[in-house]
Amino acid sequence: MIDGTRVIDYHGHVGRWERYGMVDDPELLLGAMDAVGIDMACLFHIFHPDGTTGNDLTAQFVARNPDRFVGFAYVSPTMPDRMVPELERAIDKLGFPAIKLYPPYTPWPFNEEPWHPIYEFAQDRGLAIIFHTDHFINSRPRYFEDLAPAYPRVNFVSAHCGNVPEARAEAIAAAQKYPNVYLETCSTYRTPGVIEELVEKGGADRVLYGSDMPLMDPRPQIGKIITARISDKAKRMALGENAARLLNI
């Protein structure tokens, strides 16, 4: 809690990637979260294309601290027959409220046909999907302009907001055109003025704080919001109010 606002980190991972210092030790995550008042974190496991393996690990991780962590479902179109059944299992049985997709681990841009069964599923259920986005061909935020009007019940979240200026501009443009596009803030590129730009151009009601923990520590990432030249109202929306609305919590 920060000044009465429940803080929700919209971007975190389960899984280990030791060569980059990424260790999913719950005590490490909770210690960093507690140090800055982060109440809850959304987590997903993206290292298993079958979806099931990672989703089960996510569910186990969340079950140890269900008041602090929320699991998201992960699937990959590289195993197309498993996508929808695994989504049904993850949403209905594991209780995950949203979906994470990672286009760099596939051969396809995320507006192409192999991804659409996921979007149809999310449209039926009215779910949010968070996508890794960047400036490479599979992950361009401009694809939201194809998807957002076609699947109006889905909320599309641009993780990292494209990371670099050219892709960030695409994410902002999509958010300006469609009310179901959101802008998530975590990035190893902590360019000055980015948070201000997202709030001013995309709208404070579309910005979601995320950290990418445990690949990155949530503290400098939340520091981007706290030290930005935006209003307290915009900070509260980005830190938790928008995420709570998106997740119905």
* Contact set with another protein (CB under 8 A): 2-3, 5, 19-23, 28-29, 31-32, 35-37, 188-194, 213-224, 226-229, 232, 235-236
In angstroms, what is the minimal distance from the CB of 61 to another protein?
Answer: 14
Residue 186 near residue 39 (C-beta atoms within 8 A): no
Contact 87, 52 (CB under 8 A): no
Residue among 115, 117, 98 nearest 208 (CA):
98
Separation between Cα atoms, residue 176 and residue 158, nearest integer Å: 13
Taking the complex as a whole, the smallest distance from the CB of residue 51 to another protein amounts, in Å, to: 25
The letter for the amino acid at 150 is A
For another protein, the closer of residues 26 and 97 by Cβ is: 26
Tell me whether residue 28 or residue 150 sits nearer to another protein (CB atom).
Answer: 28
- Identify residue 24 by its one-letter amino acid code: D
Q: What is the DSSP string of 122-156?
A: HHHHT-EEEEE--SSGGG-GGGHHHHHHH-TTSEE
In the bound state with another protein, the residue whose beta carbon lies nearer, of 67 and 232, is 232
Minimum gap (Å) between residue 215 Cβ and another protein: 6
246 by DSSP, 3-state: which?
helix
**Which C-beta is closer to another protein: that of 68 or that of 219?**
219
Residue 43 CB, shortest distance to another protein, in Å, is 13
> Minimum distance between the CB of residue 183 and another protein, rounded to whole angstroms?
17
Only one residue has tokens 């030290």, namely 227
- Report in angstroms how near the CB of residue 40 gets to another protein at its nearest: 15
Mark 107-130 as b/e (b = at least 16 C-beta within 10 Å).
Answer: eebbbeebbbebbebbbebebbbb
Nearer residue to another protein within complex by CB, 89 or 135: 135
Residue 18, class by beta-carbon neighbours within 10 Å (0-12 exposed, 13-18 middle, 19+ buried)?
A: exposed
In angstroms, the Cα distances linking 24 to 12, 15, 30, 174 are: 10, 6, 10, 33
Return the number of the residue (229 or 245) whose C-beta is nearest another protein: 229
In terms of CB distance, is 199 or 216 closer to another protein?
Answer: 216
Rounded to the nearest whole angstrom, what is the least distance from the CB of residue 25 to another protein in the complex? 8
